[in-house]
Amino acid sequence: MNGVQEDQCVQMKRDFHFFHFLSEEDVERIAPYFNCRTLEVGENLWKEGDSSKFVVFIVEGKIEGKKETEFRNKQVVVGVFGKDSLIGIFSILSEEKRPISATALEASRVLLLDKDGFDEINKLYPELGGRLMKGMLYCVTRRLSQSYKRLAAIF
């Protein structure tokens, strides 16, 4: 990674609102475990059925999640994930294949945390790993709550 890319990556880590519940020292400890990536419109993070083992923290942009239906070559949108969202948390907790496809709807900047990095954070810094997991669960729970509200609004 060249100097400009490194600076952009450091800035992405600073900009990510998800880390607001961590101290600056905590963020410095875990930052090396996160990789930065920029996505173009239409670029796939993964396809349904892939075995990738990383969670994505969205710094900027929108990622669409789609699920295959019983009809050949037909998918349904199961979510649109934007700034300060997580997608793919299941993959660092389980060996199961990706349940949905994830594609950039907009040019996006994301942080990736792979399973090995997540496990190492928890091994070296268990209290910090617990706070990281708590924040991840909060994001997922908030999204689930919003889903309940949207579902109830249909009826």
Segment 26-59, tens digit of pLDDT: 888 888 999 999 999 999 999 999 998 999 999 9
Distance separating alpha carbons of residues 93 and 53, to the nearest angstrom: 9
Which H or E element spans position 131?
helix 126-154
CATH code of the region 3-154 = 2.60.120.10
Q: Report the predicted TM-score, pTM, of the whole model to 2 decimal places.
A: 0.85
Distance separating alpha carbons of residues 55 and 111, to the nearest angstrom: 8
Q: Does pLDDT of 10 surpass 90?
A: no
Distance separating alpha carbons of residues 77 and 74, to the nearest angstrom: 10
Q: Does pLDDT of 69 surpass 60?
A: yes
* pLDDT-derived band at 2, boundaries 50, 70, 90: low
Residue 67 or residue 25, greater confidence: 67
Distance separating alpha carbons of residues 92 and 127, to the nearest angstrom: 18
